[in-house]
Homo-oligomer: A and B are copies of this chain.
Amino acid sequence: MSIAPADGPALFIINPNSTAAVTRGIDAAMAPLRMAGGPAIECLSLQSGPPGIQTQQDVDSVAPQLVALARSLRPRAAAFVIACYSDPGLHAVREAVDVPVLGIMESGVLTALTLGQRFGVIAILPGSIPRHLRAYGAMGVQARLAGELAIGLNVTELAQYERTLARMTEVGRRLRDEHGADVIVMGCAGMAAYRDPLQQALGLPVVEPSQAAAAMAIGRIKMNWHGA
């Protein structure tokens, strides 16, 4: 899955849920970021995680497991990306390992700040929005937020590509036309397949946050800048 030497330190993209299909979607999205001289990019599921991260309880429950996983991978790690739009355990993992650690929400939003003046976010579930708003507040970027709206589809419906794209497009249009968004962040991991058609439909830049985080991580690895 990588053209970089298999034995160098890798960029680990950790999907905190246990659903392999999501991890596969993330892995496929990494293709453009795999380059000679760059880090190997390895995508993993948190085997002990829930099938999806939907509640604050889910977020909190995986954090200690992510710390443990990151510690165990540390000897082979150049950097970590936590690939769930709630950035579970982000600050704890940063404390635990001495390499760069990026969250996909954080990276997706920071990337959006360079592509437009007001970012809109497409969430899956309405119940996640207050949690995301708390994170934007902690990040201090609320003045740039146009709004966040949910597509509100359940798991079965999410499996239908056309239906999901239609809902994302509808919500994206509301963010653009009613809330004034000029850049869109997809508030979920593993849905990179929707990015191009969504961007075309909306006529606005669309940020896929796992790609955003991995893209930021590559250069960061070369500098090895990390906190604490």
Residues in A lying within 8 Å of B, measured CB to CB: 3, 32-33, 35-38, 55-57, 59-61, 63-64, 67, 89, 91-92, 94-96, 102, 106-107, 110-111, 113-118, 129-131, 133-135, 137-144, 147-148, 178, 180, 182-183, 205, 207, 211-212, 214-220, 222-223, 225-227
Interface of A is mostly: helix
Contact B117 A133 (CB under 8 A): yes
Which residues of the other chain, B, contact A63 by a CB distance below 8 angstroms?
A: 60-61, 63
User: Contacts A113-B110, A141-B141 known; A57 to B118 CB distance under 8 Å?
Assistant: no
Contact A144 B140 (CB under 8 A): yes
Contact B138 A138 (CB under 8 A): yes
Contact A138 B142 (CB under 8 A): no
Contact A91 B207 (CB under 8 A): no
Contact B227 A32 (CB under 8 A): no
Number of copies: 6
Contact A222 B32 (CB under 8 A): yes
Partner of A222, one of B35, B67, B102: B35
Which residues of the other chain, B, contact A218 by a CB distance below 8 angstroms?
A: 215, 218-219
Q: How far is the CA of A35 from the CA of B130 in the complex (A)?
A: 35
Q: How far is the CA of A128 from the CA of B223 in the complex (A)?
A: 27
In the complex, 11 of the A-B residue pairs with CB atoms within 8 angstroms, ordered by the A residue number, are A60-B60, A63-B63, A91-B131, A113-B139, A137-B140, A137-B143, A140-B143, A182-B227, A215-B219, A215-B222, A219-B219
Q: How far is the CA of A222 from the CA of B208 in the complex (A)?
A: 13
**Most chain-B CB neighbours within 10 Å: which of A61, A106, A143?**
A143
CB distance from A33 to the nearest CB of B (A): 5
User: Contacts A140-B143, A216-B219, A222-B215 known; A114 to B110 CB distance under 8 Å?
Assistant: yes
Which residues of the other chain, B, contact A59 by a CB distance below 8 angstroms?
A: 92
A-B pairs with the 8 shortest C-beta distances? A215-B219, A35-B37, A36-B37, A140-B143, A117-B130, A60-B63, A134-B138, A36-B36
